[in-house]
Amino acid sequence: MKTLKDKLSKHTLCVHEGSRPDEYKGINTPIYTSTSFGYLDTDERYYPRYFNIPNQQAVIDKVSALEHASDGLVFSSGMAALSTVLFSLLNKGDHCIFQSGLYGGTMNLILCEFDRFGIEYTLLQNNDIVTFQKALKKNSKVVYIESPSNPLLSITDLRKVSEFCKNSGCISVIDNTFASPVNQNPIDSGIDIVIHSATKYLGGHSDICAGIAVAGKKYIDRIKRTSVNFGGSLNAMMCYMLERSIKTMAIRVEKQNYNAGKIAEFLYQHHQVKKVYYPGLPDHQGYEIACRQRTGFGGMLSFELADLNAVTFQKGLRLIKPSMSLGGIESTICAPAVTSHKLVPKNQREAEGISDQLLRLSVGIEADADLIEDLEHALKQK
């Protein structure tokens, strides 16, 4: 039997789910600033590093409902969430399979930390399921994917990956940051653990640094044991700000989806643009898969300039801000080669298609016509 929560739309869940009652009848969750809690007459030991204070739980309840998960943990950054999850699931001698085209910070974590902890890994050359199967070893424990990927917006078939993992006994983990819970719910496709850099779409206003992992309770209990030791928890004030921000996520993301679609079509037809990467374009390699497993194509796109210098182009923009990070209400742009993927070796960047002329655009909630006019102006620079 479906509960009320199962029947509610994402717009309603964003606003109402997880909120804690206020004894003075305020409609917002109170901010519990204490880092010290009494322990007599209770079985619970409340402490921010134990991931169990009320403001942390309010965020988790909200995101868990949106992602159709049963539990979760909120962290101080997306990388704190990602690294804690992986080191909770992998031990010395284990093997992890990583899809191609990962976020630069994830790649740097793998290349800098896994060898010294004795964890084996395979970085795939493409995301075809046959490639996953060929990479499988007897000691494979985790398969890690990112869809859409950062920054080339490649799409991975979630159901095929989840079936592969179940047949091989591996745990499936996805970075769902680019899609957001509004556009994609990987657990519905059989993925085990979902990670978000909450700094992006969940926060949505470029003023919060946080991360989230949600899953079934058995996985969260396992991750929590490591999380307490790693200490990457989030304080009550930031949790309150994050809960407040998620309340508007559905309407923000829908507008960003619409704007990005219009901009992708404009750039696709422009002579100064060599290539556009956006899963909502029919000729995108992952278009049909995206149509099956997503409810929206997202607010992220990348494009490669033909002849115009990338720095000159960015300096010609008047509305869109050259800036790192993404997912905010304002449109921002960056060159992945010198920002998100700066720490990835140049030969590896180029092999993955991340050239110096590639630009990643995070589309905001401004009027689409104003953003297109701004891009058109910058494309006329010399």
pLDDT tens for 309-357 read 999 999 999 999 999 889 999 999 999 988 877 777 777 787 778 888 9
Question: Catalytic residue among 20, 49, 160, 342, which?
Answer: 49
Neighbour tally for 126: CB within 10 Å: 11
| pLDDT mean across residues, the chain | 95
Q: What's the pLDDT score for residue 342?
A: 77
Residue corresponding to tokens 């497993």: 293
Token reading at 234: 């989030």
Would you place residue 2 in the very low, low, confident or very high pLDDT band (cuts 50, 70, 90)? low
Question: Catalytic residue among 200, 247, 252, 294, which?
Answer: 200
Token reading at 165: 């993992």
Q: What's the pLDDT score for residue 287?
A: 98
**Sign of the alpha-carbon torsion through 218, 200, 227, 147:** positive
Domains 4-246 and 250-379 share a fold: no
Q: Note the pLDDT tens digit of each residue in 6-60.
A: 789 999 999 999 999 999 999 999 999 999 999 998 888 899 999 999 999 999 9
* Rounded Cα–Cα distance for residues 342 and 365 (Å): 28
Q: Helices H, strands E: what count in the chain?
A: 15, 12
CB 333 within 8 A of CB 317: yes
49 in catalytic set: yes
Domain map (residue ranges) of the chain: 4-246, 250-379
Beta bridge partners of 120: 95
147, pLDDT greater than 80? yes
Q: What's the pLDDT score for residue 5?
A: 67
Question: Catalytic residue among 61, 71, 157, 175, which?
Answer: 175
pLDDT > 70 in the chain, percent: 98
200 in catalytic set: yes
Half-sphere exposure of 226 (CA within 13 A, CB side): 16
Q: What's the pLDDT score for residue 63?
A: 98
DSSP run (H or E) holding 303:
strand 300-305
Beta bridge partners of 73: 213
CATH of 250-379 given 3.30.40.10, 3.90.1150.10, 3.40.640.10, 3.40.190.10: 3.90.1150.10
Alpha-carbon torsion, ordered 167, 159, 352, 266, to 10 deg: 180
Question: Of the candidates 309, 306, 323, which has an alpha carbon nearest to the alpha carbon of residue 364?
Answer: 323
Q: What's the pLDDT score for residue 370?
A: 98
CB 162 within 8 A of CB 190: yes
Would you place residue 237 in the very low, low, confident or very high pLDDT band (cuts 50, 70, 90)? very high
Q: Note the pLDDT tens digit of each residue in 245-288.
A: 999 999 999 999 999 999 999 999 999 999 999 999 999 999 99
CATH of 4-246 given 3.40.640.10, 3.20.20.210, 3.40.50.2000, 3.40.1160.10: 3.40.640.10
Would you place residue 242 in the very low, low, confident or very high pLDDT band (cuts 50, 70, 90)? very high
Q: What's the pLDDT score for residue 3?
A: 63
* Rounded Cα–Cα distance for residues 241 and 219 (Å): 26
* Rounded Cα–Cα distance for residues 265 and 276 (Å): 9
Question: Catalytic residue among 32, 61, 71, 103, which?
Answer: 103
1, pLDDT greater than 70? no
Beta bridge partners of 348: none
